[in-house]
Chains A and B, each alone.
Chain A
Amino acid sequence: MPLPTPFHTRTSAVCESYEWRNWSGYLSAGIYEMSHDREYYAIRNSAALIDVSPLYKYEITGPDAARLVDRVITRDVTRQKIGQIYYTPWCDSDGKVIDDGTVSRLDTNHFRITSADPNWRWFKDVGYGLNADVVNVSDDLAALSLQGPRSRAILQEVVSGIDFANLKYFHLAHGQVEGFPITVTRTGYTGDLGYELWVRPEYAERLWDRLIEHGTGHDILPAGIIPMDIARVEAGLIMIAVDYISSQHAVIESQKSSPYEIGLGWAVSPRKGDFIGRRALAKERERGSLWGFVGVQYDWATLERLFAEEDLPPHVAGRASRSAVPVYEAGNSSHHIGQITTHTFSPVLKQYIGIGTLLNPHTQIGNRVDVEVTVEFKRKRCPATIVPTPFFDPPRKKA
């Protein structure tokens, strides 16, 4: 039975759709209204309030905390400033990705890591012999994500003690709301201007109420994870167990991926000190990776034609689909070259887009491929072009 999050009294009061999802054992609203449209547009047009409490959260402290984190993640902790946040994967010793998440440097030797899967044992084991403590604070922190162009204006009204004009992308600050402490990170899973808010669970409801109260004039809406899923694809952001499989869950070798194969090569610092997976990744760099991450844009005119063949208008699902579809070499349906793992109609771009993994060198930007689509139960192929991600990248995200 999934458990309530610290915001449950508030989220359940407004979840008209009753469309609850089980997120890591917690009740999480898929959508609040009957259709996801307004919640999606809250992310892009005003402000969306998303309960992300089910994330796993760990704190790492002690004299060797920085060394421990540096051993775990692929990015270089020696270059991470206090108050800075890294988005990073971490790997097993074969250089295959276990999970991805954010690492906040709260102090020289104090880190907070968020992840999608449980990682306490992994961090503990990696830290064997180091003088550092790993504490699972998942239940000690309630988390809200406030995303959208109006998020900053709302926080400026609600949170005191933080200079929001100078809180940079992927940085954090501490402040107060009505006297209780809050940590604000300028992070999110939407590719828009946005923040994540971390408070002790006993303050959760008060935080929610203040945000709704001050957000109403900014057209704030509670949003579920279904609209967020569309936004994250537009932002080109991957999801574990959907776009890649954790090496700790893979049941066959080919299900595993290196960071290079899921678009996170930029987050590997080969020249940093030793870290788990370093040698394997060095080898992979030499040899080249088998797979690569891609964003594709479907050819709309063809998509329309494929529907017209069945005498239908182009009827694309409004939600992101997490069922992977095969990809073929352009014009050669006997040559399977990979899969699109999440695909969605992008309301802001008015395009059908997807992310996935293809065999190299089919991953080149501009390359044309054929993606499977199903129209009226019939499998068809739609040409698509490899395009750069993020698909949607508004200047306000970092401004």
Chain B
Amino acid sequence: MNNQYDAIVIGGGHNGLVAAAYLARAGKKTLVLEKRYLVGGASVTEEIFPGFKFTVFSYVVSLFRPEIIRELNLPAHGLTILPLESTLTPTLDGRDYLYRDGDHYQTLRNIARFSQRDADAYDEYARYMYFMAKAVRYIMGIIPPDPTTFNPKDMMGLVDMARHFLNLDQDQLYVLAKLMTMSAADFVEQWFESEPLKATLSASGIIGTFLGPRSPGTAYVLLHHYMGEIDGAYRAWGFHKGGTGGLAQTLARAAEAQGAEIRCNAGVSKVLVKNGRAYGVVLENGDEIHAPLVLSSLDPKQTFLNLVEPNQLPDDLVGAVRRFQTLGSSGKVNLALDRLPELACRPGPGRHLAGAISMSPNLDIIEQAYDDAKYGNFSRRPYMDVIIPSMIDPDMAPPGKHVMSCFVQYAPYKLADGEWTDEKREAFGDAVVNVLETAFPDIKDIILHRQVLTPVDIERTTGITQGNIFHGELNLSQLFFLRPAAGYAKYRTPIKGYYQCGSGTHPGGGIMGAPGRLGALEALKGGH
């Protein structure tokens, strides 16, 4: 086996694959080293139960960067993002529901059943979010300038950014300030009063965080949803054919088409460093592979505390990374179903089951779910975002059968009463199915197989520290030029030739590919 490359990417998650494609595209002989038997990381599809394909961890492609789609010509390699347009929120007793989809006036009528005031405010809210998303979207595509250095390039970057924000009028700037600091619940309560709507909108602010809808700072994450909408017909969000593993396969083909090589079952144990410069990696099996560029797509704790010796790094960085908040709070339950489940509030099949089903009947329920987690328990009545992938893509299950994906909060990484055990995992799974049953009374009769994943399971399979789905909390103290640590937000590390390109860097987690692209572009600049 040839063991000399121009660039090595550690980790074959979606960001690692994107980074590899960009490096290879620039002519670098590139090798991706993936620990598992398949690429994708948190973006994998596996046939856990024969004939049923689970989009095991992530399930929707949320903010995948359009420039990556074009620059790597992903459609030619199989990119197919299918529409996932509607959101159905069952009420607490499961008897009624709020349904929103692309039929605008019907959506307004549906909201008006709960509150006429909310229906009237809905367009105004969407308009504000459009302006916010437009201003913030720009940041997603750039290497974050660092205000603490007085480097002229950074200063220019800040001026550029300011211009984007100053395009907003005063009203919009206020909204932006609130968005950056308020809780999701307080933010949406400026417009809305009805519970299913408030709860469902704020729920998108808590996904992946160890915070509740009433915790300050959660409003910012609401924007993510609208950033996808801005692209309109371009559709950079939705359900990828074959699940998010389908996207990883697309990216792997694109990287290979650029000339990158991908090795699975090849976990990296250490980055080789000599005189402050990286020159390769050692695999878990002891093999050495050499390259002057080494990029880690693993989370910051892996990148800085495990793959290199802390004594190779400055103390302030080690300290900052150790303090980087990574406590996982989300679980996942995947079900194989014998037939299409039936909603009590809207029986029968139909396209309402081809969208999201949000188990967020009211704000208190979600806040209480968080209360459980705050004190070290999994939520007895968790919040869930549910989809039925086989209603969108027939390849996910045999004809007539279905798969259901439930993203669940909260399941804290650390429980107050000791480690996660098999019994606790199953009890958590039962809590999830019990909530499902409030909406789908027949669900228990049709489950053929159940896969329950706690943050500990997520960590064990993907290697993500503490199972944090975004490789680290997405709150203001960990975003932008602070992600993962002040002074190291530009994909570089104190070790020459060693770069970061995973979700722990700007602009953060979620299937967007931006860290992979920006990390690779920074590494290609070199000069360090």
Contact = CB atoms under 8 A, between A and B. Distances in A.
- A and B bind: yes
Interface of A: 33-35, 37-38, 41, 44-46, 150, 153, 216-219, 300, 311, 313-318, 345, 347-351
B83 A37 contact: yes
Contact of B75 (A45, A217, A350): A350
Interface stretch (B49-57, B227-235, B407-415): B227-235
A316 B234 CA distance: 8
Given A33-B351, A217-B400, A313-B231, A350 B69 contact: yes
Q: Which of A217, A316, A345 has the most chain B CB atoms inside 10 A of its CB?
A: A217
Interface of B: 66, 69-70, 74-75, 79-80, 82-83, 85, 101-104, 106, 134, 167, 230-235, 241, 349, 351, 354, 390-394, 398-401
B5 to A, nearest CB: 31
Given A38-B83, A217-B394, A350 B70 contact: yes
Contacts of A351: 75
Contacts of A311: 167
Closest 5 CB pairs of A and B: A217-B399, A34-B103, A217-B400, A35-B102, A219-B394
B88 to A, nearest CB: 15
B500 to A, nearest CB: 28
10 contacts: A33-B103, A33-B351, A34-B102, A34-B104, A35-B102, A41-B83, A217-B401, A219-B393, A318-B232, A350-B75
B354 A150 contact: no
Q: Which of A34, A153, A348 has the most chain B CB atoms inside 10 A of its CB?
A: A34
Contact of A313 (B104, B232, B235, B399): B232
B393 A45 contact: yes
B233 A348 contact: no
A101 to B, nearest CB: 31
Contact of A44 (B80, B134, B349): B80
Given A41-B82, A219-B393, A300-B70, A313 B230 contact: yes
Contacts of B83: 37-38, 41
Contacts of B167: 311
A62 B507 CA distance: 72
Main secondary structure of the interface of A (DSSP, over half): loop
A42 B239 CA distance: 14
Contact of A35 (B70, B80, B85): B85
Contacts of A153: 399
Given A316-B234, A350-B234, A38 B354 contact: yes
Contacts of B106: 34
A217 B392 CA distance: 11
A345 B75 contact: no
A50 B106 CA distance: 26
A150 B230 contact: no
Given A34-B101, A348-B80, 8 more contacts: A34-B102, A34-B104, A38-B83, A41-B82, A217-B394, A219-B393, A219-B394, A315-B232
Contact of B399 (A218, A345, A347): A218
A73 B50 CA distance: 52
A350 B82 contact: no
A37 B101 CA distance: 12
Q: Which of A218, A219, A300, A349 has the most chain B CB atoms inside 10 A of its CB?
A: A219
Contacts of B74: 350
A332 to B, nearest CB: 27
